[in-house]
Chain A
Amino acid sequence: MRSESRFQRIAALLWLLAIAAVGMHQWRFWQQSRLDANVLALLPQAEQDALLQAANARLAALGEGRVVVLVGAAGFAKARVAADAAAAVLGRDATVLRRVDGDVAASAALVSALAPWRDRLLTSAQRAELAGGRIEDWSARVLAELYQPFGAPRLLPFASDALSLWPQWWAERTAAAQARPRDGVLALAGEGRQWLLLEFESVRSAFAVSGATPVSDAVVAARTAARTQVADAELLAAGVPLHAEAAAAQASFEVNTIGWGSFLAVLLLVWLTFRSLRPIALVALSLLVGCATALSVTAWWFGQVHLLTLVFGASLVGVAEDYGFHWFAARQGQPQVPRPALLRQLLPGLVLALATSAVAYLALGLAPFPGLRQMAVFSATGLTAAFLTVVCLFPLLDTRAPTRTRFADACAASLAHWPRWRSNRIGWSIAVFGVVFAVAGCWRLQANDDLRQLHAAPAELVAMQERIGSLLGLPSPAQFFLVEGDDVEQVLQREEALAAALDAHRALGDLAGYQALSQWLPSAARQADNARLSAAVETAVIANVATATGDALQRADFTREPLRLADLRALASGERLARTWLGSVDGRSGSIVLLHGVRAGALPALTASAATVAGVRFVDRTAGISELLGRYRVGMGAWLVAGYFGVLLLLSLRHRRSAWRALLPTLIGTVLTLAVFGFAGWPLQLFGVLALLLLLGMGVDYGIFLLEHPGDGAAWLAVALAGISTLLAFGLLALSATPALRAFGLTMLIGEVLVWLVTPCFRPAAAHAEPAQVAA
C-alpha cells in the first residue's frame, strides 16, 4: 500500500514534469505559429518518383507567396486611376504585402545580356524562313525597312541584326504574357475592359491561428478604394496566400466551434452527472493536457502542424474525456473503495479502451497521406496523454468522491428498460426490414474520389482565379509535361521535339501556348544550327545592302560559345527564366513544360502527340491524386473487412460464442450508415471509409463494456456519457467546410448513433444479474 502510494507519487511527479515541458513548448509554439495551410501538404509523396516530386515541389514554390491583382475599368485611364488607388491601399502595410517589380525594367537588361547569343536564338518560324527564303527577297525587304520612316523597332545595330530577327524573337518570348508594358505599367485588354496588372508578394509565410486575414482584408479595402475612384472598377485577386488565409480563417473558426463546443458540452455532461466542481476541473485538465501534448508531439514529429489536423484534432476532445468519465462514474458508484484500489480495478479496462482507440486512430496512418498520419499521431498522442493524466493525477487530486445524482441514476437505470432483440416475429421482421434497407441503400452508394474533397476553397476565390488565369494566360499548375533525360542537352532536345508537336496543336487552336526552358535556352545542337543559318543569310544580305547604299558594311561578330544553362542562370532574372528546370535528381535530369489556354477537350490529342516523344510524359496532378484517393478508398475498404475479422477473432478468444454481441452492433451501424449515404446521395469517399475504420475501433468498445459488465448501470452510464460526447464532437466535425472532414464527421455521427442505439439491444439475456466486478 505504502509503496503503491509512493509509486503513484513518482508517476504523478514525472507526468507533471512532462506536462511542464509540453507547456513550455506550447508557449513557444503559439508564438511562432508554425501552421501549414497548404492542402497539397496533405497529399502523399511516397508513391511519386523523385523527379515528379521535384516537379511538384517546384510548382508549389512558384506560386508561394505571390498575389496577382488585376484592376479593370472601361478605359485605360480609368483603370489606371483605380489601380493607383488600389496599389496605394495594398502597399500600405509593408508587413503584409510587398509590391514586386513588374517585368518592365527587367526585360531591358535581359535583352542586352542575351545579345551576344543573338544569332543562336531563333524562333521556329524564323528558322523556316531563313532556311527557305531567297537572298534577293531578304535583301529587298531589309532595304525597304531601312528607308521606311520607321523600321521595325531595332534592339541592336544593323550590323548585329540586319534582318531584325531579335525583336521578333523577343516578341515571341513575351507573347505568353498577355500583359504588355503601357505607360510604365503592365496592361491588358479582356472581357471588354482594360486591366492593369499589379503583383505583390506576401511578406508573412506562416499563417495565424487567430484566423486574421490581413492579405484578404487588404484586397477588400483596395477594391473599395478602387471603386471610390472609379465606380465601375473591378478588382480581381488571386494567389496562394489568399487561399491559405481563407483556409486558416475557416480552420480557426472550426477549431474553436468543434474544440470549445465539445469541451463545454463535455463539462456540462460532467456537471449534470456529478454535480460537483472537482470532476469538471479534473476532466477539463485531462482534456487540455491531452490536446496540448498532442499538438506538441505532432509539431515536434512533423515540424509543422497542418490546419486540418487541428480541426480534426478538435474532435479528440469528445473522445479523450472517456477516461475521466470512467474514473468518476466508478467513484460515484463505489465511493467506499480506496482510490489506489479503485485505480487497480479500473486500469485493465482503461488500458484496453486506450489500446483499441489508439490502434483505430493509428490505422488512419496506414494510408501514406502525410495529413492523415498527422491526424493519427495527434489523436493517439492526445488519448494517451489524457489517459496518463487520469491515471497519474486523478487518484491524488480527487480527494472526495462525487455523490449520486438523479441524472446519473436515470442514465444507469435506462439500460434495464432498453429493448432487447428477440428471435420472434417482430425481431425477424425488423431484421428483414433492416437487411432490405441496407441492401437497397448500399446499391445506390456511389464513390467520389475528387481531389476537391480535400480543399474547400471559397467559390468566389476560385472564380476570380479562373478569370485571372484566362485574362493573363497563366499556365495551369495541375497539368504539365515532365521531360526527362540523361543530361541538360538531352532534356533540351526532347523539349524541342515536344515543342514541335505542341506548335502543331497551337496552330489548330488546341492551346494558347506553353512555357519551356528550351525557349530561352535551345539545345547546343539547335544553337549551332541557328548560328549557321543566320550567318549564311545575314552575311549575303549585308553585302547586298552595302552595294545598294554604297556603304562599307560588315556583319558583327558573335560569341562562338553556345549559351549554357549556367550562363542563363547567372543573369539577373536567370533563375526566373530557368524556373522550369528541375536539375538533376538521382542521376536523371528533368524539366517541366507548362501549358496555358488548353482548349476544353483538346487534352487527349495533346497528350497523344506528346507520347510519341521519348522521355516525355504528361502529368495530370488532379487526376493522379483522384486516382490515388480511389485506390486507397478500395484498399482501406479491404483493411476494414480484415479489421472486422481480426476483431471477431480477438473477441472470440475472450467471449467465445457471445463475441458476435459486441461486433454485430458495429457491423449493423456500418452497413446502415452506408445505406443512409446511398439513400441521401452522399458519395463514399476515402475519408468515409477511414471513419468506418475508426468506428470499428470505438463502436466495439461499447459492446465490450456491456459484455464485460452485464447489467452494470455504472458501465452503461460511462458508455452513455462517452457516446454522447463522442457524438457531439463528430457531429460538430460534420459542420466543417472541408468536404473530407465533413464526410468523416458525418460517417462517425451516423455510425456512432446507430452503434450506440443497437448495442444494448444485443446485450446478454443475463441483464438482470447483480452488478459484476468491474475488474476484468
Chain B
Amino acid sequence: MMRVLALLGLLLLAAAPLPAASELAEVAARIEQPQVLRGRFEQDKQVAGFRKPLHSSGRFVLARARGVLWSTEQPFASQLVLTGASLSVESGGSTRNIDAADEPALAAIHAVLFDLLGGDIAKLQANFTIVAQLLDADRWRLQLQPKPGLFAQAFTRIELEGARHVERVQLFEVNGDRTEIAFREFDQAAELTADEAARLAQ
C-alpha cells in the first residue's frame, strides 16, 4: 500500500508542470519585438444583450513605444489611435479624444491592449499572474489571471496564443462579455510610414 502511494506521489510530481518562470522566459524569447508590426485582425465580440456576436475586421499597426493604430474596416469604418498619453476614437466623421490623465482607468485598460498585441510579458506581469504553456517547438499559450485591482474588476481572465507573434487573444470580461481576436498577415518593418507616424503623433 505504501509503495502504491509513493508511486502515485512520484507520478503526480512528474505530471506537474515545470517551474512556470522558465516556460514564461521561453515564451518571451520566442516572441519577436520588431519596431513596427502591421497586420490584419478578425474580431468576434460576444456582448450581453446581443444574440449574435459582433463581428468586425480591419488592420492594425503596432509601433514599439509609440502606440497602436486600430482601423476597423467592416462592418463600418472607425479608427482607434492609442498612445501612452491619449486615446482617440474616430467614427462617423466625429472624433473623441480622451486624455489618459482624465480617465486613468480607461487609459490603463487600453494600455494593456498595447502590451497584449506586442506580447510584452514583463509589462503584463505587473497586472496579471501569467501561466505559460509550450505547445510545440514554436507555439505557446499564455493564461493571464488579473491581480486584485482594476483589471480584476474588468476581466476574469485573458488567453493569448501564438508563435513568433501573438496570433489569438481571448478576453473574458467580468460582466460575461467575451472577445476573440485573431491576427494574421503579419508584416514587420523598421519604420512607420509618414501617415502612420502623423496619426500616432496627434
Complex Cα gap A550–B50 (Å): 10
**Hey, which chain A residues are within 8 Å of B148, CB to CB?**
183-184
Residue in A136, A140, A149, A159 whose CB lies within 8 Å of B43: A149
B89 engages A141 (CB within 8 Å) = yes
Name A162's closest neighbour in chain B (CB-CB): B49
Top 6 A-B pairs, shortest CB-CB distance: A140-B92, A184-B148, A144-B91, A183-B149, A158-B49, A144-B78
Q: With A144-B91, A157-B175 as known contacts, state yes or no: A551 contacts B110, CB within 8 Å.
A: no
Complex Cα gap A171–B108 (Å): 14
Complex Cα gap A628–B104 (Å): 46
Residue in A137, A149, A182 whose CB lies within 8 Å of B179: A149
The answer to the question of B17 belonging to the interface, with a C-beta cut-off of 8 Å to chain A, is: no
Bitwise interface map of A from 531 to 568 toward B, beta carbon under 8 Å scored 1, else 0? 00000000000000000111111000000000000000
Residue in B89, B106, B109 whose CB lies within 8 Å of A144: B89
**Hey, which chain A residues are within 8 Å of B171, CB to CB?**
149-150
The answer to the question of B196 belonging to the interface, with a C-beta cut-off of 8 Å to chain A, is: no
The answer to the question of A145 belonging to the interface, with a C-beta cut-off of 8 Å to chain B, is: yes
Bitwise interface map of B from 82 to 96 toward A, beta carbon under 8 Å scored 1, else 0? 000000010111101
**Hey, which chain A residues are within 8 Å of B70, CB to CB?**
148-149
A181 engages B109 (CB within 8 Å) = no
Say which one of B3-11, B51-59, B135-143 lies at the interface with A: B51-59
Total contacting residues, chain B, CB less than 8 A: 43
A182 engages B106 (CB within 8 Å) = no
The answer to the question of A455 belonging to the interface, with a C-beta cut-off of 8 Å to chain B, is: no
The answer to the question of B45 belonging to the interface, with a C-beta cut-off of 8 Å to chain A, is: yes
CB of A113 to closest CB in B, whole Å: 16
The answer to the question of A27 belonging to the interface, with a C-beta cut-off of 8 Å to chain B, is: no
A551 engages B78 (CB within 8 Å) = no
* Chain A contact patch, size range: 35 or more
The answer to the question of A641 belonging to the interface, with a C-beta cut-off of 8 Å to chain B, is: no
Contacting residues of chain A (119-146) with chain B, CB-CB under 8 angstroms = 136-137, 139-141, 143-146
Contacting residues of chain B (25-55) with chain A, CB-CB under 8 angstroms = 43, 45, 47-52, 54
The answer to the question of A153 belonging to the interface, with a C-beta cut-off of 8 Å to chain B, is: yes
Complex Cα gap A26–B54 (Å): 79
The answer to the question of B191 belonging to the interface, with a C-beta cut-off of 8 Å to chain A, is: no
**Hey, which chain B residues are within 8 Å of A549, CB to CB?**
50, 52, 54
Name B60's closest neighbour in chain A (CB-CB): A149
Name A545's closest neighbour in chain B (CB-CB): B50
A157 engages B49 (CB within 8 Å) = yes
**Hey, which chain B residues are within 8 Å of A139, CB to CB?**
92
The answer to the question of B177 belonging to the interface, with a C-beta cut-off of 8 Å to chain A, is: yes
The answer to the question of A617 belonging to the interface, with a C-beta cut-off of 8 Å to chain B, is: no
Q: With A136-B92, A141-B94 as known contacts, state yes or no: A183 contacts B147, CB within 8 Å.
A: yes
B175 engages A141 (CB within 8 Å) = no
The answer to the question of A94 belonging to the interface, with a C-beta cut-off of 8 Å to chain B, is: no
B105 engages A153 (CB within 8 Å) = yes
B89 engages A148 (CB within 8 Å) = yes
The answer to the question of A769 belonging to the interface, with a C-beta cut-off of 8 Å to chain B, is: no
A158 engages B48 (CB within 8 Å) = yes
Residue in A136, A146, A184 whose CB lies within 8 Å of B147: A184
Name A108's closest neighbour in chain B (CB-CB): B153
Task: List 8 interface pairs A-B (beta carbons < 8 Å), by A numbering.
Answer: A144-B72, A153-B105, A154-B177, A157-B49, A184-B147, A184-B149, A548-B75, A553-B49
The answer to the question of A152 belonging to the interface, with a C-beta cut-off of 8 Å to chain B, is: yes
B181 engages A143 (CB within 8 Å) = no
Name B74's closest neighbour in chain A (CB-CB): A147
CB of A623 to closest CB in B, whole Å: 35
The answer to the question of A278 belonging to the interface, with a C-beta cut-off of 8 Å to chain B, is: no
CB of A709 to closest CB in B, whole Å: 83
The answer to the question of A467 belonging to the interface, with a C-beta cut-off of 8 Å to chain B, is: no
Complex Cα gap A544–B52 (Å): 16
Contacting residues of chain A (142-185) with chain B, CB-CB under 8 angstroms = 143-150, 152-159, 171, 180-185
Contacting residues of chain A (451-490) with chain B, CB-CB under 8 angstroms = none
B147 engages A140 (CB within 8 Å) = no
Name B98's closest neighbour in chain A (CB-CB): A152
A158 engages B50 (CB within 8 Å) = yes
CB of B79 to closest CB in A, whole Å: 9
A140 engages B54 (CB within 8 Å) = no
Bitwise interface map of B from 61 to 78 toward A, beta carbon under 8 Å scored 1, else 0? 000000000101001101
The answer to the question of B197 belonging to the interface, with a C-beta cut-off of 8 Å to chain A, is: no
**Hey, which chain A residues are within 8 Å of B51, CB to CB?**
551-552
Name A148's closest neighbour in chain B (CB-CB): B80
